[in-house]
């Protein structure tokens, strides 16, 4: 098994992490952020589990497509000799139950039926393949990765893989005959090339520079480090590395603002000297303009 497209933190989640350290989120934005974090952790658990897939196959993670003006995302895809496996990974925790076609929590809150999402993705993926000259068999699975999940009145549905079934499902995958050739590699290249892009900024909470708390955040626990660039979790960092991370956050959150020594000094909360910031900028960025218009741009 070979990973063609690794899983990365999405741009939206990256931006939300930056913002969450520096501002208080409205309730709906906080819920979305927490759901994205939980979903990403579930996908990481899946990635660890999928390391034991031993067949000759190609894995592509986090694919985003648009077909017939409809955008859909696939958590993970496995290309084998005769089958394209589509995996929708859920990190649900706690007790849920079914009432007809509805999925509900024990408190009575309704959630979107994940099987409908899976079926919709399969239909659109099949169209995408046909539009690009492929007629490959697709098998779609809904994987519940969290061992603390339970679904009451669960249907007998071979598309649903519960936590207790993951080991047996892995054995099934590993018994799948598979020998890949150049056509399969070409299919993987086609899927990667056909991805679409959605701006993450449209889904962020409203924010302005002046309302964000300034300083340098720990890359692990996302709290602000002290003046010695040490965190309560034990992490400590050299000034140059901390400055570069601070600049990266600034560039992500404010792509249209110019990078200057004074601007970086303020953004980092005055935790490092202007002289140190100037040295870091001079070594890693290119100076453009003169006088008050002088600013730094990233070296390509």
Q: Which domains does the chain have, with CATH numbers?
A: 2-200 (no CATH), 214-298 (1.10.10.10)
**In this predicted structure, what is the pLDDT of residue 156?**
87
Three-state secondary structure along 170-218? Answer: HHHHHCCCCCCCHHHHHHHHHHHHCCCCCCHHHHCCCCCHHHCCCCCEC
Distance set, CA 42 to CA 45, 75, 203 (Å): 5, 10, 22
pLDDT band at 273 (very low <50, low <70, confident <90, very high): very high
**pLDDT tens per residue, range 151-201:** 999 888 889 999 999 999 999 999 999 999 999 999 999 999 999 999 999
Rounded Cα–Cα distance for residues 70 and 165 (Å): 32
Q: Phi and psi for 293 in degrees, rounded to 5?
A: -90, -5
Q: pTM (2 decimals)?
A: 0.93
Please name the residues in contact with 199: beta carbons below 8 A apart, sequence gap of 6 or more.
none
Residue 278 burial by Cβ neighbours in a 10 Å radius (0-12, 13-18, 19+): middle
74-77: which pairs have CB atoms within 8 A and are 24 or more residues apart?
Answer: 74/121, 74/125, 75/43, 75/46, 76/7, 76/43, 76/46, 76/47, 76/50, 77/191
**pLDDT tens per residue, range 208-248:** 999 999 999 999 999 999 999 999 999 999 999 999 999 99
Flag the least confident range among 13-17, 190-194, 286-290.
286-290
**pLDDT tens per residue, range 124-154:** 999 999 999 999 999 999 999 999 999 999 8
Torsion of CA 73, 75, 79, 82, to 10 degrees: -70
pLDDT band at 17 (very low <50, low <70, confident <90, very high): very high
**pLDDT tens per residue, range 105-126:** 988 889 999 999 999 999 999 9
- Is residue 71 helix, strand or coil? strand
**pLDDT tens per residue, range 40-83:** 999 999 999 999 999 999 999 999 999 999 999 999 999 999 99
**pLDDT tens per residue, range 85-102:** 999 999 999 999 999 889
Q: What average pLDDT does this structure show over 12-25?
A: 97
- Taking alpha carbons only, the member of 171, 140, 192, 194 closest to residue 3 is 192
């Amino acid at each position: 098994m070979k990973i063609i497209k690794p899983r990365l933190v999405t741009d939206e989640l990256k931006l939300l992490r930056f913002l969450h350290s520096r501002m208080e989120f409205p309730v709906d934005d906080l819920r979305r952020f927490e759901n994205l974090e939980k979903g990403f952790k579930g996908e990481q658990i899946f990635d660890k589990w999928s390391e034991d897939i031993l067949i000759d196959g190609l894995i592509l993670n986090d694919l985003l497509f648009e077909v017939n003006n409809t955008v859909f995302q696939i958590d993970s895809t496995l290309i084998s000799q005769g089958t394209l496996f589509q995996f929708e990974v859920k990190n649900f925790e706690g007790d849920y139950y079914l009432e007809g076609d509805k999925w509900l929590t024990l408190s009575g809150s309704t959630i979107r039926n994940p099987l409908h999402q899976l079926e919709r993705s399969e239909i659109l993926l099949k169209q995408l393949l046909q539009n690009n000259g492929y007629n490959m068999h697709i098998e779609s699975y809904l994987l519940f990765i969290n061992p603390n999940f339970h679904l009451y009145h669960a249907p007998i549905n071979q598309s649903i893989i519960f936590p207790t079934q993951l080991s047996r499902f892995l054995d099934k995958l590993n018994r799948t005959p598979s020998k890949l050739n150049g056509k399969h590699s070409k299919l993987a290249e086609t899927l990667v090339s056909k991805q679409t892009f959605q701006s993450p900024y449209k889904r962020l909470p409203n924010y302005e520079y002046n309302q964000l708390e300034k300083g340098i955040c720990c890359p692990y626990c996302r709290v602000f480090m002290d003046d010695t660039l040490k965190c309560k979790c034990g992490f400590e960092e050299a000034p140059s590395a901390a400055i570069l991370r601070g600049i990266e956050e600034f560039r992500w959150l404010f792509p249209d603002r110019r990078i200057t020594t004074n601007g970086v000094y303020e953004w980092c909360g005055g935790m490092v000297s202007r002289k140190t910031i100037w040295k870091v900028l001079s070594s890693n960025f290119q100076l453009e303009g003169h006088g008050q218009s002088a600013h730094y741009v990233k070296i390509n």
